[in-house]
């Protein structure tokens, strides 16, 4: 959900005559057509006046011809959503309506080598429902410019390879907007007249327009400082609407940890005197790394025990880190074009992961990363929107802020790290940043720096950027007792994907270990090694089939494969259930141990779902659970991971024709059996009451175990409902309350329904808690779930205008509740289709994201396929559909 953004051609006119989408097919943008910009911007001065009913933006651009571009290429200024009042070139007035191409771009021919363009634009921020450009959220004005929002503020070469220093004057009413912010340092401020005041901000670091930001409003501020490694003092300012004052402590401390970590780990210091974070209630994505002025979705910055769960606290630290790390990987070195998006996002997500691993449990973090990859990225990679980490074409760039670009992109970076080792990897990153500081770079630039730092040839590795799909690795083995040699035979293949029928073999790091019969690591010698050893080895797959021989191997080992999930692949090896139980008990790699348990559970659940339960399957699972529950000194957070069954989406991934109901029923049956069989253990776990709430790792793990126990107990028997009621009543924190609420939301009993209502009454003035109330009901398992979700769309607190609210109900339902979204009567699909159409004219970026589950229609049986297609077709019939929704719907059907 973190990955979610927006943009479009809307019903607003672009200088009065935007061509409706139905008239001209939206254009496909291709990487191979990249041309450098004809003109570069030496400096830009903006004056943004928010004091009237509409915003007025005066812009002055000093431009010069780019020596690297064609000599006679025209100057292009992107513009949409705004009314242009005047446009001058070196003081001469132009008539913009005669200069626009079909996209609305202003195209100026025969422009002098150096010139000045001045413009005056107007638009209504309150009418900017797309939340791209400058808009109103609650009582404040704010901006979102990535990817192409700046053109909705002023005409500009709105592309990431045009970098300029910005000077911005913000003008607004003092009473309603006492706080005026933009990027960089505030160099002047004062009164204009009795009502209005102004502030001038200057950002000395040249930046692309997508990193521009402006905020104005009546905001409370929490301040702190950070002293950098070189002794500079940085002021940290967190701005929130007054009702959220006091909720930024956790985010602030997380920022300080992130700043320190980037210094100690990568030697990277912050570069401005102030770092500002603003919390905004209406935001299409998680957060945005604008230079010196991050804008955050409230969900990823505000924390208090009553309004944020433990998971929220963790996400806040991750997203704060992520946006901070962008200051180097994204801002100081940015992207040449949007095809290079993973250059900044994959690298920054990886840095965020490293940070989280350093701050908490490495294995638990890794498990969470792999869960997300498998549930969000693998299905995308196998579906109609499948694209490489570096896409080679798009209709709407906002549709490519995807799990593939972000999460698989981060896995690609992790593989460099695995191949180079930590030291060489770090040197490679530093070399890349030094060499391209202040520039817009490409993925090739990054790869070249890595090749040099590692002394490696990464040309085959580069296929990770261009070939879509999840590689499949089949492993077989062979033990030769006479010669004491053990051989792993690895075959790789990559399925065809849209536009890519044939694939080349990839360069894949496969981390493996060997286990002896006694459960201990088994020593052996690879032909290129001088002695036998038992440590993890990274085998490098490069061919369709490869044999890896281990000599001096005294017995037939059990192989531990893909340790730490060393590559984003699907690995198959014919493990017996006994092998999996053995790895679960003995593997020294905690990730591999967890994985063995998950594979065991997966088998039991899949057999159950397919109506062929394995006779001793549940007993094995029960035994594994019991062992985890009784393990004396295991990290409780790892125990919690082991006791969490594979999710329904991951189970669905394993089936040729997905039956969401059968999967759900199987999982519920197994949960019920485990709930009853281990009731004594669950009761003990659930009764381990901790003291007052703290956000602290052991406490978090204990709450998680306690709430897992509550879930299993209630899966096992209705008798335990009272525990949920009591927990909801007595808890002093949202984590425990929500866990109880989730149990109650499934129950038809009157006291449960009353408790769900009471929760709303109690928290109705806390938007982030109300989101969770909607979400919990969207995820509920009741015979009438679809009807209830439909009813909730008519609840007075439901609105499509707020992305968090829309996602909480519709996103959660369509993505997180497969059994009900896929109701055989098609009612879930209709509900989604209807709301996507309603949302599209206002917020196409969000509409396109919510639509994504329907794209998976090919995975289901004939009647579901038909009903899903029907909704996609219904959507495509709409005139004046946004590019965003058009692209997703048409590619899904194509
Ligand atoms: Zn990012």
Distance 344 CA to ligand 1 centre (A): 7
Q: Is the distance from CB of 346 to CB of 369 less than 8 angstroms? A: no
Active site residues: 323
Average pLDDT over residues 146-163: 98
**Chain segment 763-815, per-residue pLDDT in tens:** 999 999 999 999 999 999 999 999 999 999 999 999 999 999 999 999 999 99
Q: Is the distance from CB of 155 to CB of 122 less than 8 angstroms? A: no
Residue 371 tokens, joined: 């869960």
Quote the CA–CA distance of 451 and 426 in Å, as a whole number. Answer: 12
**Chain segment 475-530, per-residue pLDDT in tens:** 999 999 999 999 999 999 999 999 999 999 999 999 999 999 999 999 999 999 99
**Chain segment 322-374, per-residue pLDDT in tens:** 999 999 999 999 999 999 999 999 999 999 999 999 999 999 999 999 999 99
Quote the CA–CA distance of 351 and 515 in Å, as a whole number. Answer: 32
Residue 367 tokens, joined: 């498990």
> Where residue 690 falls among pLDDT bands split at 50, 70, 90?
confident
- In terms of pLDDT, which residue wins out, 721 or 614? 721
List, edge to edge, every strand of the sheet that includes 537-541.
537-541, 508-515, 558-561
| Other Cβ atoms closer than 10 A to 545 | 12
Distance 876 CA to ligand 1 centre (A): 31
Distance 330 CA to ligand 1 centre (A): 8
Quote the CA–CA distance of 48 and 180 in Å, as a whole number. Answer: 11
Distance 321 CA to ligand 1 centre (A): 10
Distance 315 CA to ligand 1 centre (A): 14
> Where residue 99 falls among pLDDT bands split at 50, 70, 90?
confident
Distance 288 CA to ligand 1 centre (A): 7
**Chain segment 614-660, per-residue pLDDT in tens:** 889 999 999 999 999 998 778 999 999 999 999 999 999 999 999 99
> Where residue 5 falls among pLDDT bands split at 50, 70, 90?
very low
Distance 837 CA to ligand 1 centre (A): 28
- Paired residues of 275 in beta bridges: 236
Quote the CA–CA distance of 758 and 755 in Å, as a whole number. Answer: 5
Distance 331 CA to ligand 1 centre (A): 11
Q: Is the distance from CB of 594 to CB of 365 less than 8 angstroms? A: no
Contacts of 516 (CB under 8 A, 6+ apart): 522, 554, 555, 557
Quote the CA–CA distance of 252 and 408 in Å, as a whole number. Answer: 29
Distance 325 CA to ligand 1 centre (A): 9
Distance 335 CA to ligand 1 centre (A): 12
**Is 8 a residue whose pLDDT tops 70?**
no
Distance 451 CA to ligand 1 centre (A): 24
Map residue 481 onto helix, strand or coil: coil
**Is 143 a residue whose pLDDT tops 60?**
yes
Please provide residue 694's backbone torsions phi and psi, each rounded to the nearest 5 degrees: -135, 145
Quote the CA–CA distance of 521 and 534 in Å, as a whole number. Answer: 6
The percentage of residues in the chain with a pLDDT greater than 70, rounded to a whole number, is 97
Distance 404 CA to ligand 1 centre (A): 13
Average pLDDT over residues 572-580: 97
Residue 777 tokens, joined: 């009901």
| Range of lowest pLDDT (247-256, 347-356, 688-697) | 688-697
Distance 106 CA to ligand 1 centre (A): 30
ipTM value: 0.99
Quote the CA–CA distance of 453 and 736 in Å, as a whole number. Answer: 48
Please provide residue 287's backbone torsions phi and psi, each rounded to the nearest 5 degrees: -170, 170
Mean residue pLDDT of the chain comes to 96
E strands, 299-442, in order: 334-335, 393-394, 440-441
Where do runs of H (alpha helix) occur along 779-840?
A: 785-792, 803-806, 812-816, 818-821, 827-839
pLDDT at 24: 61
Contacts of 493 (CB under 8 A, 6+ apart): 471, 472, 474, 503, 544
Distance 567 CA to ligand 1 centre (A): 21
Average pLDDT over residues 558-570: 98
Distance 279 CA to ligand 1 centre (A): 17
Helix, strand, coil tally for the chain in percent (to 5):
45, 20, 35
């Amino acid at each position: 959900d973190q990955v979610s953004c927006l943009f479009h051609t809307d019903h607003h006119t672009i200088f009065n005559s935007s061509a409706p989408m139905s008239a001209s097919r939206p254009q496909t943008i291709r990487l191979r057509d990249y041309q450098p910009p004809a003109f570069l911007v030496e400096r830009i001065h903006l004056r943004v006046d928010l004091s009237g009913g509409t915003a007025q933006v005066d812009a002055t651009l000093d431009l010069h011809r780019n020596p690297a571009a064609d000599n006679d290429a025209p100057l292009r200024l992107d513009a949409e959503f705004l009314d242009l009042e005047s446009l001058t070139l070196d003081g001469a007035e132009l008539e913009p309506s005669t200069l626009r191409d079909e996209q609305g771009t202003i195209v100026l021919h025969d422009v002098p080598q150096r010139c000045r363009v001045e413009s005056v634009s107007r638009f209504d921020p309150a009418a900017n429902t797309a939340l791209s450009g400058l808009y109103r959220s609650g009582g404040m004005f704010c901006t979102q410019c990535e990817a192409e929002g700046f053109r909705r503020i002023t005409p500009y070469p709105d592309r990431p390879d045009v970098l300029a220093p910005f000077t911005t004057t913000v003008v607004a009413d003092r009473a309603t907007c006492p706080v005026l912010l933009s990027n960089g340092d505030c160099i002047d401020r004062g009164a204009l007249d009795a009502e209005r005041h102004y502030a001038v901000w200057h950002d000395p670091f040249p930046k692309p327009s997508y990193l521009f930001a402006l905020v104005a409003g009546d905001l409370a501020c929490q301040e702190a400082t950070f002293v950098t490694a070189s002794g500079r003092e940085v002021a940290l300012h967190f701005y929130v609407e007054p009702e959220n004052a006091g909720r930024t402590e956790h985010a602030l401390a997380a920022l300080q940890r992130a700043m320190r970590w980037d210094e100690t780990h990568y030697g990277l210091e912050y570069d401005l005197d102030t770092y500002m974070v603003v919390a905004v209630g209406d935001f299409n994505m998680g957060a945005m790394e604008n230079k010196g002025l991050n804008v955050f979705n409230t969900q990823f910055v505000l924390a208090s025990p009553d309004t944020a769960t433990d998971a929220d606290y963790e996400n806040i630290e991750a997203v704060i880190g992520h946006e901070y790390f962008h200051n180097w990987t994204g801002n100081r070195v940015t992207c040449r074009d949007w095809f290079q998006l993973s250059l900044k996002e994959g690298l920054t997500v990886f840095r965020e992961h490293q940070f989280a691993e350093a701050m908490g449990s490495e294995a638990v973090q890794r498990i969470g990363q792999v869960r997300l990859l498998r549930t969000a990225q693998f299905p995308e990679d196998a579906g109609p929107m499948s694209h490489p980490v570096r896409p080679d074409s798009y209709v709407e760039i906002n549709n490519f802020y995807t799990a593939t670009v972000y999460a698989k992109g981060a896995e690609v970076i992790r593989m460099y790290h695995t191949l180079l080792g930590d030291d060489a990897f770090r040197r490679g990153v530093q070399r890349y940043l030094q060499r391209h500081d202040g520039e817009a770079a490409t993925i090739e630039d990054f790869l070249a720096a890595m090749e040099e730092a590692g002394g490696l040839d990464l040309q085959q590795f580069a296929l990770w950027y261009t070939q879509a799909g999840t590689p499949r690795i089949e492993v077989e083995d062979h033990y030769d007792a006479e010669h004491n040699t053990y051989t792993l035979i690895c075959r790789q293949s990559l399925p065809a994907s849209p536009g890519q029928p044939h694939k080349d073999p990839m360069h894949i790091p496969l981390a493996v270990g060997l286990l002896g019969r006694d459960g201990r690591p088994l020593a052996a010698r690879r032909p290129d090694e001088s002695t036998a050893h038992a440590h993890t080895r990274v085998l490098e797959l490069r061919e369709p089939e490869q044999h890896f021989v281990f000599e001096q191997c005294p017995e037939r080992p059990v192989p531990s494969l893909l340790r730490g999930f060393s590559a984003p692949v699907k690995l198959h090896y014919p493990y017996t259930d006994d092998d999996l139980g053995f790895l679960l008990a003995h593997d020294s790699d905690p990730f591999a141990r967890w994985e063995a348990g998950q594979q065991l559970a997966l088998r039991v659940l899949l057999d159950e779902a397919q109506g062929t339960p394995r006779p001793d399957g549940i007993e094995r699972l029960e035994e594994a659970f019991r062992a985890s529950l009784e393990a004396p000194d295991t990290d409780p957070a790892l125990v919690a991971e082991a006791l969490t069954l594979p999710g329904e989406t991951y189970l669905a991934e394993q089936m040729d024709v997905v039956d969401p109901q059968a999967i759900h029923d199987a999982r519920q049956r197994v949960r019920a059996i485990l709930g009853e069989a281990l009731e004594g253990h669950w009761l003990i776990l659930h009764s381990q009451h901790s003291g007052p709430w703290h956000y602290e790792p052991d406490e978090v793990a204990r709450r998680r175990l306690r709430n897992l126990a509550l879930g299993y107990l209630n899966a096992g028997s209705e008798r335990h409902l009272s525990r949920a009621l009591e927990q909801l009543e007595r808890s002093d924190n949202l984590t425990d309350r929500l866990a109880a609420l989730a149990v109650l939301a499934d129950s038809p009993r009157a006291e449960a329904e009353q408790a769900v209502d009471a929760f709303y009454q109690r928290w109705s003035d806390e938007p982030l808690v109300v989101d969770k109330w909607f979400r919990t009901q969207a995820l509920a398992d009741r015979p009438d779930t679809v009807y209830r979700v439909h009813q909730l769309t008519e609840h007075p607190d439901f609105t499509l205008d707020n992305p968090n609210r829309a996602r909480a109900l519709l996103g959660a339902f369509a993505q997180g509740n497969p059994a009900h979204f896929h109701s055989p009567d098609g009612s879930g699909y209709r509900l989604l289709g209807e709301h996507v159409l309603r949302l599209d004219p206002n917020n196409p970026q969000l509409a396109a994201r919510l639509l994504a589950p329907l794209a998976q229609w090919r995975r289901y049986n004939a009647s579901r396929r038909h009903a899903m297609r029907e909704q996609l077709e219904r959507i495509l019939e709409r005139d004046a559909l946004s590019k965003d929704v058009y692209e997703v719907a048409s590619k899904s059907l194509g």
